[in-house]
A and B are shown apart, each in its own frame.
Chain A
């Protein structure tokens, strides 16, 4: 059983230009999938259709084998959550506590359960000390953790990160990535939208989008063996691999082998 299945998905904001064209994609339980692509490749649109924020022109999306539709979208919201790029754009609550509660309130959790979940998940993501603070007083990385706590509190087991680290500085980014890794180890299914190859290295599977179509998909090694397609999608391979690809000749083979292993390391 796949956690998320996208079948022949097509999307357009108007009739003239197709943003997504015949996308087929499966994400298994506990898998970490990175979706990479240039600006405007349709990555974020794909993420939004997966959580039912945008309605596809054609095709189907299944979450836990249930077809995402107007009737099921409320129910499915418990199963799949999304963390957006700009941490400031996703706050609705006056305090961190209100914010974590927001999703649960919408799903009619009981008050007792809400309070219990708020404490439990605020501790889990490390924002327990800030529960009564205004979200605007938190750093970017802390804000993203609050967003994650709100999703986990709904007992969601699939999280989409839509360029969720791109507005953070390198240290906050590294910190958030470590935390996402921990969530993955706990069994969560992770879908990560990014154009940062260093982040994509954490994933089990890479999906490369170009102009609304899947150009390439597979594990890191398989994808990195297609450098030209990779660059064709406006992406850059890890620096170690780019250096390795510049070295021709048998005398460099030991170095190249080392650079390959180093590139795949995470």
Chain B
């Protein structure tokens, strides 16, 4: 099942003024289970538009998207209950913390499931489960969401999506605005959720350090075109990186500088500071 894009294009039109081709002839497949995908590309490359097609928030101008067996195309199909389809794929927008609005964290988390006609009692059970999943304890449920820190608010808004129990989780720049340790904690949390539930997670991000460390598949968009779909290791060996407006991860950049400066026999492709320093120690003994 999962999600299949078949030759999907999407144009935004501006009345008489013309149109903007946001994504162009995209074909790709996202498995239902066990993927940790980072979706990257410069601003305006079509990442958010692509993400919105994953749960039928946007409809293709041409081509089709198959979401858990239902075909979404430019023509609305009355037989498809789009809301049911959206239960399969949970989409977390950028700055989800701005969307919190209830008096308590519990009510906020319950809002989604209640919208999908889950009973009050079941919604409460889901809220309790979800708050623990995002690494907060149950005392948070009675707190006012507006008195939480930025990182806590993000976690609560993600709990709201988890409570709907989607099969696939799509997050649009979840770490932006967080301090470095907050970023890492949130990425660790996604990794943990993915390992515990085997749910596929798709993350939109600009941070290549996080992509290199966490992703096991990277999808690159450039001016609406799919230009790379593969593993994180091969991506950073590509010569086209700069032309796709992508940075080289910091660890690789630092090790490449050292390698050149001191003519070292080391492999600069190391994901973490710990791995980089181990490689340098090995290099010293070579």
Binding site for B on A (CB under 8 A): 37-40, 85, 139-140, 163, 166-172, 195, 197, 231, 234-236, 238-240, 242-243, 246-247, 251-252, 254-255, 258-259, 262
Q: Is the CB of A170 within 8 A of B247?
A: yes
What residues of A have a CB within 8 angstroms of the CB of B177 in the complex? 39, 85, 163, 166-167
Contact B254 A262 (CB under 8 A): yes
Chain B nearest CB, measured from A227 CB (Å):
12
In B242-286, the 8 Å CB interface with A consists of 245, 247, 250-251, 253-255, 257-258, 261-262, 273-274, 276-277, 280-281, 284
| Residue in contact with B254 in the complex, picked from A140, A170, A197, A259, CB distance below 8 Å | A259
A168 to B43, CA, bound (A): 8
Interface status of B149 (Cβ within 8 A of chain A)? yes
Interface residues of B in 121-151 (CB under 8 A from A): 149-151
Complexed CA–CA distance, A259 and B250 (Å): 13
Contact indicator B181/A258 (Cβ below 8 Å): no
Which chain A positions have C-beta within 8 A of B191? none
From known contacts A40-B149, A85-B177, A235-B179, infer whether A246 and B273 are also in contact, taking CB-CB under 8 Å: yes
Complex contact A139–B43 (CB within 8 A): yes
Q: How near does chain A come to B170, taking the closest CB pair, in angstroms?
A: 19
Given A85-B177, A171-B42, A236-B181, 15 more A-B residue pairs with CB atoms under 8 Å apart are A38-B179, A38-B181, A39-B150, A139-B43, A167-B177, A169-B42, A169-B245, A170-B206, A231-B181, A239-B254, A243-B280, A246-B274, A246-B277, A251-B284, A262-B254
Identity of the chain A residue whose Cβ is nearest the Cβ of B281 in the assembled complex: A247
Report the minimum CB–CB distance from A142 to chain B (whole Å).
Answer: 11
Judged by DSSP, the binding face of B is: helix
- Number of CB contacts from chain A to chain B under 8 A: 86
- The reply on B178 being an interface residue by CB < 8 A is yes
Is B180 touching A140 in the complex (CB atoms < 8 A)?
no
| Selected A-B contacts with CB under 8 Å, 18 pairs | A38-B182, A39-B177, A167-B176, A167-B177, A171-B245, A195-B180, A234-B181, A239-B253, A239-B254, A239-B273, A243-B251, A246-B276, A246-B277, A251-B284, A252-B280, A252-B284, A258-B258, A258-B261
B281 cross-chain contacts in A, Cβ below 8 A: 247
Pairs of residues from A and B, 7 with the lowest C-beta to C-beta distance, nearest first: A246-B277, A239-B250, A236-B180, A39-B150, A40-B149, A195-B179, A234-B181
Binary interface profile of B, 139-181, with partner A (CB < 8 Å = 1, else 0)?
Answer: 0000000000111000000000000000000000000111111
Mask of B80-93 contacts with A, CB within 8 angstroms, 1/0: 00000000000000
* A169: nearest chain-B partner, CB-CB: B43
Question: Would A247 and B258 be within 8 Å (CB), given that A39-B179, A169-B206, A242-B273 are in contact?
Answer: no
A166 CA to B151 CA, complexed, in Å: 15
